[in-house]
Amino acid sequence: MEKADKITLVERELPITRGVVVDDPTRKHLSIRQFVPSQPDLVPWLEHVWMVAWDMPDGQQHMQRTVPFPLFNLVVDQCRGSALFGCTRSYFEYPLQGSGWVVGFRFKSAFQGAFHDGPAVELTDGFAPATSFLAPDILQPLEGVNGRLPTREDIAASLRNLCDVAKPVSDVARRVNQMTAFIEAHGDLFRVADLATEFSLTERTLQRQFEAHLGMTPKAVIERFRIHNALANCASGEETFSDLALQLGYFDQSHFINAFKRIVGCSPADYAKRLRETDSVG
């Protein structure tokens, strides 16, 4: 408790929005803020805390789409309830209308074991209600906020409560987190066999560890970061799709387009067109 009491939050000057799919100009009516602990070593399971707030014009709705990172988010949502969300195999959509907010505690990859005891694969494309693994008072500083936006101290108070009940994660989970970070940092890593060689593991062991602690296969994690890179390149407009397919290690442009459609929900050409339309309106 003494250590948790020391935890405060610092706001990121520039939020990390990689994986956020820009769909339409109504997105200008929402804001994204992110916070990191002033003493990260006291919160070893946390990547950062994010807050999305919106105030949509009457009669308008924004469908926010994301291609999530391969990790877990403990989300406080006054409309839908608080829950731990697992990894997703494709995009995730959330309808925004009226006014509201959502706060999420973004865990490091494979670190959901600090709170949730079940296999990670049980949460893939799904969630576990916070009430199934947390005492009711843990998130109360946020869940009790009514009629206003949460303050940084509201968020920090819930974070300190979470720190009081967090459990150590296993060495295997730490290794999966390390391997996920390695994949993200090495954009030219396209083969599971190369990852196995890098960490002196068999491909079968990789498969077991990723499914148990992340709920995704190592192949799916590699492809997720390839698609994140594709989204960034579509936004910059610097590459043709044939060049981009080659750069991202796909066999040909057709394989790249099919993977993009499956994970993002539209073709690269359609996505680039929507980006241009959004820029011209905004």
The per-residue pLDDT for range 178-205, each reduced to its tens digit, is 999 999 999 999 999 999 999 999 999 9
Confidence of residue 235 (pLDDT cuts 50, 70, 90): confident
Provide the mean pLDDT of the chain. Answer: 91
Confidence of residue 28 (pLDDT cuts 50, 70, 90): confident
Confidence of residue 146 (pLDDT cuts 50, 70, 90): confident
Q: Which H or E element spans position 202?
A: none
pTM to 2 decimal places: 0.92
Q: What is the DSSP letter of 98?
A: S
Judged on CB neighbours under 10 Å (0-12, 13-18, 19+), 240 is: exposed
The position carrying tokens 């956020």 is: 20
Contact (CB, 8 A) for 82 and 143: yes
Among candidate residues 95, 106, 84, 107, the one with its CA nearest the CA of residue 30? 95
Share of the chain above pLDDT 70, in %: 94
CA distances from 229 to 26, 50, 140, 179, 247 (A): 24, 22, 38, 18, 10
- Is the pLDDT at 30 greater than 90? The verdict is no
Same domain, residue pair 146 and 185:
no
Q: What is the pLDDT of residues 9-26, one digit of tens each?
A: 999 999 888 888 876 655
Domain that holds residue 192: 171-281
Same domain, residue pair 104 and 188:
no
Among candidate residues 194, 168, 167, the one with its CA nearest the CA of residue 182? 194
- Is the pLDDT at 171 greater than 90? The verdict is yes
CB burial readout 125-160, b (16+ within 10 A) else e: eebbebeebbeeebbebbbebeeeebeeebbbbbbb
Q: Average pLDDT for residues 213-224, to the nearest whole number?
A: 96
Check which CATH number belongs to the domain holding 243 and give it. Answer: 1.10.10.60
Last residue of one domain, picked from the residues 165, 193, 211: 165
Same domain, residue pair 144 and 203:
no
- Give the whole-angstrom CA distance, residue 29 versus residue 93: 17
Confidence of residue 233 (pLDDT cuts 50, 70, 90): confident
When divided into structural domains, the chain yields a total of 2
Last residue of one domain, picked from the residues 101, 132, 165: 165
